Structure 1
Amino acid sequence: MRDEVTLSDTAAPRYSATLNRVETYFDQTATRTWERLTSDAPVSKIRQTVRAGRDRMRNLMLSRLPADLTGARVLDAGCGAGQMTIELAKRGAEVLATDISPALVQIAEDRLPQEYRRQVTFTSGDMLCASLGRFDYVLAMDSLIYYDAEDIARALHGLEHRTDGRIVFTVAPRTRALMAMWYAGKLFPRSDRSPVMIPHDAGKLAIAAQNQGVIGSVRPVDRISSGFYISQLMEVQT
C-alpha cells in the first residue's frame, strides 16, 4: 500500500527545486529506461557498465549492515525500482521504501516477491520527511547525487536525529572523468538528460556536515568505478 508523502517542511528552496527536477525526470522522462536498466533485459554496452557498477555498489552498501536484520527498521531512501528493498527484506528487515517518483515506486512494489509483502511499506515523496519515523539504518543509493554540499549536510543532519545506527549513502566523487561529464552537462543541456550530478570532495563534504551539526563521523568507505558509473560510498557512524 502506498502513501503520498509531502516535501519536508524544513527543505530549503534550493533543495525543493532540485527535488522537483529529479521527480520530473524519473517520473516522466526516464521511467522506462530505469525499469529496463534495473532488470535482466538487454541494454547497450554503456548501460551494461552502469548496471554492473550499480550492482557492485548495492552489494558494498549492504556489506555495511549486519547480515541478519531481523527486527531492524531500515529506510531505503530513493528506492527506485526496488532492488535494494528486496535484498533488505531477504535479511529480515522491516523496510520503508520511498522514492520521489511514484512510477518507480509502483515498479518496485510490483517486483517485490509475495513472501516479503508484510515486511515492506512503500511510499512516494520526500525521503527526508520526518513523518516517515525512526530507523535503525538508512541506505541512500545515488539519491543524494544531485544536491550540493549544504543540502546533503542538511539531509544527513535531519536523518541522524531519526537513525540509531549507520547512514550509508553515495555521492558523485570529484574525479577528472566525472568533472568532464559534469561540465559537458552544464554546457550542453537537453530536456531528456538526467539532472546534473554535483561532484563532491569527501573531506569537504564531511566538514560541511560537521558545520551543519552532524555529530557522527562522516567518512568515505570505498569507490566503485565501472565505465560510465562512478560513485563514492560514504557513511555516517552515529
Structure 2
Amino acid sequence: MNAADDKTIVREYFNSTGFDRWRRIYGDGEVNKVQLDIRNGHQQTVDTVIGWLKADKNLPELSICDAGCGVGSLSIPLAADGAKVYASDISEKMVSEGKDRALQTLGNAENPIFAVQDLESLSGSYHTVICLDVLIHYPQEKADEMISHLCSLAQSRIILSFAPKTCALSILKKIGSFFPGASKTTRAYLHREADVVKILESNGFAVQRQAFTKTRFYFSRLLEATRK
C-alpha cells in the first residue's frame, strides 16, 4: 500500500474509532492498563519537550508550529506559558477536541490557533517546529518528505519524535505487541535514527538534544535539531 493510502487511513481512523480511543488516552479519565501505559509514555515525551523549551527561558518570544497536535497535549501548555502556537492535525475531530480543551483550560480560543491540515499542506515560518508521535504512521520514504517540509518551515529549530527501528522493537512489532489491542487499525512504522539524522543534516540542521522514552508499550526517540 502506498503513502497516499497511509494518509487516508490515518485521517479516517482519527476521525472515527481512533478518535474515541486516543481522546481517552490523551485525557485523564479511566482507561485500560495498556492505554494508561501509552498515556504515560506520551506524556513523558511531551514533558521532556516542555522542559527543553522552558530551560531556554524564552518561551514568550517564540512562535511554534505543533504539527500533528492531536487534542492539544503539547500546544495548550506551551500557549499557557506564553508561546504563540499554531496547532494543526489531519483529523477534524482531534482539532475540534483541542479547541474545546484550550477553551476550558485557557479561557480563550485565540492561542493556540488550531487548524485542520496535513503536514504537506503546512505553510508559514516559525521559530520552532515540533512533530510528536506522527511519523510512526508513515513509511520511511514519506517520512523523508515530511521531515524535509517541516524543516523548511523552521527558522531556528525542529523537534521530532519517532519509534526507533532497533532489533528488539522490530521483533515486538512483528509479533503484534508494539501497539496491542483490537482497535489497532493503522500500521506502526519504525524509523532508523541514522536515517532521521541524515535527513535533518541534509536540510541544514544539527542535533543538539535527544531523549528516549520507554514504557511497556510506548517507545519514542526524541531529537531536537537547530539550524547550523
TM-score normalized with structure 2 length: 0.86
8 Å CA contact 2:119–2:150 kept in 1: the answer is no
Which one-letter code corresponds to 2:100 in the other structure? Answer: D
Q: Which residue of 2 aligns with 1:222?
A: 211
The CA deviation at 1:116 is 4.7
The CA deviation at 1:47 is 1.4
Are 1:69 and 2:49 matched, yes or no? Answer: no
The CA deviation at 1:218 is 4.6
In structure 2, the CA distance between the partners of 1:160 and 1:79, relative to structure 1 (3 Å rule), is: same
Secondary structure class of the residue paired with 1:20: helix
1:134-149 alignment, distance < 5 Å: 134-149=125-140
Q: Which residue of 2 aligns with 1:5?
A: none
Q: Which residue of 2 aligns with 1:173?
A: 164
Secondary structure class of the residue paired with 2:134: coil
Which one-letter code corresponds to 1:237 in the other structure? Answer: T
Q: 2:7 aligns with which of 3, 19, 35?
A: 19
Q: Which runs of no fewer than 5 residues in structure 1 stay unpaired?
A: 1-12
Asked which structure has the greater RCO (Cα within 8 Å, sep 6+), the reply is 1
Q: Which residue of 2 aligns with 1:150?
A: 141
Q: Which residue of 2 aligns with 1:3?
A: none
The CA deviation at 1:208 is 4.6
8 Å CA contact 2:3–2:142 kept in 1: the answer is yes
Deviations 1:103-156 (A, max 9, x none): 0111111111244522221111212324x3111111111011122333222222
8 Å CA contact 1:148–1:198 kept in 2: the answer is yes
Q: Which residue of 2 aligns with 1:84?
A: 74
1:1-238 alignment, distance < 5 Å: 14-65=2-53, 66-112=56-102, 113-130=105-122, 132-185=123-176, 192-210=183-201, 213-218=202-207, 221-238=210-227
The CA deviation at 1:191 is 8.5
Report the aligned-residue RMSD.
Answer: 2.5
User: What is the distance in 2 between the residues matched to 1:61 and 1:24?
Assistant: 28
User: What is the distance in 1 between the residues matched to 2:117 and 2:203?
Assistant: 24
User: What is the distance in 1 between the residues matched to 2:79 and 2:199?
Assistant: 33
Which one-letter code corresponds to 2:27 in the other structure? Answer: S
The CA deviation at 1:14 is 4.0
User: What is the distance in 1 between the residues matched to 2:194 and 2:188?
Assistant: 18
Which one-letter code corresponds to 1:107 in the other structure? Answer: E
The CA deviation at 1:70 is 1.4
Percent of aligned pairs with the same residue? 26
Secondary structure class of the residue paired with 2:133: coil
8 Å CA contact 2:151–2:200 kept in 1: the answer is no
In structure 2, the CA distance between the partners of 1:236 and 1:153, relative to structure 1 (3 Å rule), is: farther
Which one-letter code corresponds to 1:156 in the other structure? Answer: I
In the TM superposition, structure 1's runs of 4+ consecutive aligned residues that sit over 4 Å from their partners are none
8 Å CA contact 2:119–2:146 kept in 1: the answer is no
The CA deviation at 1:93 is 1.1
Which one-letter code corresponds to 1:162 in the other structure? Answer: L
The count of residues paired between Structure 1 and Structure 2 equals 221
Which one-letter code corresponds to 1:135 in the other structure? Answer: Y
User: What is the distance in 1 between the residues matched to 2:110 and 2:209?
Assistant: 34
Which one-letter code corresponds to 1:151 in the other structure? Answer: K
User: What is the distance in 2 between the residues matched to 1:103 and 1:202?
Assistant: 31
